Amino acid sequence: LFYGTDAIHEAIKCAVGQRLLDIALDPQGLTPDIFLSGATQFSHDCCTFSALFENRRVGTQAEGVMERAVAAAQLSSVGPEQLRTLRETLHALAGTPMGSLFMRGGSDGRVDDAIVLNMDAFHRDDRLHQEAEEMLSAKGFSALALEEVISILNRRR
């Protein structure tokens, strides 16, 4: 009986985690911009759901879809200074000076400081890709792929 309820618990955790991850990564392109206030609330909600589904057995801390959703939510809600540092570091690794890339304008017509990162340099050089992933791991975002991190950083305002 214990294993049956455990399986149901894990299935629900996975389903909820997948929905939260879909919201965070936005594969359908429905959320072109992420603002700090909304991201902070979403991060709180993800952490709350994660706490509800904490594994009842000690020692089983595998990174699953819920942990990825929490990591994506936490990345989207980092402060402006940490966000700028992450962007600058990835631009430096890719060898693309931030000033040479185009900027996205806001709905009010002003130019935003959100400079678009590109995956091309990371796809061309496996060593560069590995260094970027190691840097993200050191920052606590190892649950996410580099492409996912760049997607979130490009949408964050």
Ranges of beta strands (E only) in the chain are: 103-105, 111-115
Q: Which two tokens stand for residue 130?
A: 């590995």
- Residues linked to residue 111 through DSSP beta bridges, in sequence order: 105
Are 72 and 31 a contacting pair, CB within 8 Å?
A: no
| pLDDT of res. 117 | 83
Are 96 and 150 a contacting pair, CB within 8 Å?
A: no
- Residues linked to residue 103 through DSSP beta bridges, in sequence order: 115
- Residues linked to residue 115 through DSSP beta bridges, in sequence order: 103
| pLDDT of res. 118 | 82
Of the listed ranges 22-31, 33-42, 95-104, the one predicted with least confidence: 95-104
**Contact partners, residue 51, CB within 8 Å, separation at least 6:** none
Q: Which long-range contacts (CB under 8 A, 24 or more apart) does 81-87 make?
A: 83/153, 83/156, 84/113, 86/139, 86/149, 86/153, 87/115, 87/117, 87/153
Asked if pLDDT for residue 110 goes beyond 70, the answer is no
